């Protein structure tokens, strides 16, 4: 099966499995999504969703956030991990949003990436899920599955994103990146499938016998 044929099968299979793709992180607007995605670094979405209600009850806008002390933010978000770094980033980016963007989240991946604590993946998630702009955020699930499905060699997250964007139509990106994440969590986990057990892996590579060692994101 050629790479393009594998991509087409994956696209159709995931659409059947996950016709609806709710955003995993609870939020009410672009700002709260931005903060939630920032908090999700090296943390599960489930844990983030348990923490953000308390944070957003106190501060769900940049103006409210800068009224809190960094230490207060840090105490609330501590269960998410990396709280010293994340709390400082949340406080600083909130100031920048007020000073440069009138309190609004910019609708530009490049401008988002200039904000403290916001990398390319976080910016891509916000562009995709908050603004509906075509983007293909690559998290650990997508990076791993792209290798197991031989859609990319895993040499870097940048390479994986570029390869997937070439393979799949632009109109599918926003939904597909969530579908792959959902599939990875349900069927093709890091220590479960190894590329030889889940339905898609076994369909694409029925003769594969050995586990696939994937490169980390």
Query: Are 202 and 212 within 8 A, CB to CB?
Result: no
Query: Rounded to 5 degrees, what are φ and ψ at 70?
Result: -55, -40
Distance from C-alpha of 146 to C-alpha of 177, rounded to nearest angstrom = 11
The pair of structure tokens assigned to 54 is 């308390």
- If DSSP codes are grouped into helix, strand and coil, which group holds residue 97? helix
Question: Quick one: DSSP state of residue 117?
Answer: T
Q: pTM for the whole thing?
A: 0.93
Cβ atoms within 10 Å, residue 198 = 20
Based on the residue annotation, tell me whether 139 is a catalytic residue of this protein: yes
Query: Rounded to 5 degrees, what are φ and ψ at 114?
Result: -80, -15
User: Between the CA of residue 20 and those of 139, 141, 182, 211, what are the distances in Å?
Assistant: 20, 19, 11, 31
Catalytic residue among 64, 139, 165, 166: 139
Based on the residue annotation, tell me whether 163 is a catalytic residue of this protein: no
Cβ atoms within 10 Å, residue 169 = 11
Catalytic residue among 3, 85, 121, 165: 121
Q: What is the set of domains in the chain, with CATH numbers? A: 3-20+136-204 (1.10.1670.10), 30-129 (1.10.340.30)
Query: Are 166 and 179 within 8 A, CB to CB?
Result: no
Cβ atoms within 10 Å, residue 177 = 25
Predicted confidence pLDDT, tens digits, the chain (217 residues): 899 999 999 999 999 999 999 999 999 999 999 999 999 998 999 999 999 999 999 999 999 999 999 999 999 999 999 999 999 999 999 999 999 999 999 999 999 999 999 999 999 999 999 999 999 999 988 999 999 999 999 999 999 999 999 999 999 999 999 999 999 999 999 889 999 999 999 999 999 999 999 998 7
The pair of structure tokens assigned to 28 is 């009410």
């Amino acid at each position: 099966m050629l790479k393009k044929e594998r991509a087409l099968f994956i696209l159709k299979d995931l659409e059947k499995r996950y016709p609806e793709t709710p955003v995993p992180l609870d939020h009410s607007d672009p700002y709260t999504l931005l903060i939630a995605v920032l908090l999700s670094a090296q943390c599960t979405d489930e844990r983030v969703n348990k923490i953000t209600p308390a944070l957003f009850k106190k501060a769900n806008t940049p103006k409210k956030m800068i009224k809190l002390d960094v230490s207060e933010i840090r105490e609330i978000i501590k269960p998410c991990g990396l709280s010293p770094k994340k709390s400082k980033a949340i406080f600083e980016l909130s100031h920048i949003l007020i000073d440069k963007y009138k309190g609004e989240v910019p609708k530009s991946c490049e401008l988002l990436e200039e904000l403290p604590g916001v990398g390319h993946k976080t910016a891509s998630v916000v562009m995709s899920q908050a603004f509906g702009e075509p983007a293909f955020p690559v998290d650990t699930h997508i990076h791993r599955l792209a290798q197991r499905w031989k859609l990319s060699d895993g040499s870097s997250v940048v390479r994986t994103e570029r390869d997937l964007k070439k393979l799949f139509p632009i109109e599918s990106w926003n939904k597909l990146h969530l579908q792959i994440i959902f599939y990875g969590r349900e069927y093709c986990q890091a220590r479960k499938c190894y590329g030889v057990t889940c339905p898609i892996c076994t369909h694409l590579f029925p003769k594969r016998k050995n586990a696939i060692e994937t490169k980390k994101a």
